[in-house]
Structure 1
């Protein structure tokens, strides 16, 4: 899915709706699998297609960026907590196996 700056709106819509685009999104886990690169491509497409006489409000763009940053931080925190949980589970299992049986 390549969004081109020279192709115009019609070409960009065709690229976004091309056969296989949905299959790639589904194979990656659907909309939940979008990453920072996807966000940046969408933001770039939005900037390229906006009306220069009525641009997107800077406050709205900053709010979107702040939300995405918060989401990325939350995702990283969740991954770190999952890693800690797995290590604690392994530690508990090791302690249980090391206890003498009476």
Structure 2
């Protein structure tokens, strides 16, 4: 059983709820996947139930997608930290240059003990 698109679903008391159709996978989360899965199970033909291998494949695909999204978030965090470290390094280089210039401009004094 395949689901081409979801536009709306009917709730318990006949109330219609809108879904996130058309927003792509980026807008869907685990809760949306579970809703789709339970709706699919509730509306399946009892004489031709969903194949277990298809269901496991869907679960594995969602798990993979979830892990990839987590990795993307982690890489985004690492990138942000890298940019912060780069900015700190630039400021430290500027500070080192300023200190070196100040030290070079100070007169040197030599003391002799006689």
Determine which structure has the larger strand proportion and give its number: 2
Structure 1 outlier segments of 4+, above 2 Å: 1-4
- TM-score normalized by structure 2? 0.66
Instruction: Tell me the CA shift for residue 3 of structure 1.
Output: 5.3
Query: TM-score with structure 1 length normalisation?
Result: 0.73
CA RMSD of aligned residues (A): 2.6
Higher RCO, Cα 8 Å, sep 6+: 1
Q: When you count helix as a share of all residues, which structure comes out higher?
A: 1
Aligned residues: 88
Aligned with 2:23 (options 5, 17, 30): 30
Query: Structure 2: which 5+ runs fail to align?
Result: 1-7, 102-114
Report 1:1-102 matches (<5 A).
4=11, 11=14, 15=16, 21=18, 25=20, 30-31=23-24, 32-99=26-93, 100-101=96-97
Provide Cα deviations, 1:66-97, integer angstroms capped at 9, x if missing partner. Answer: 00000000000010011011101101110110
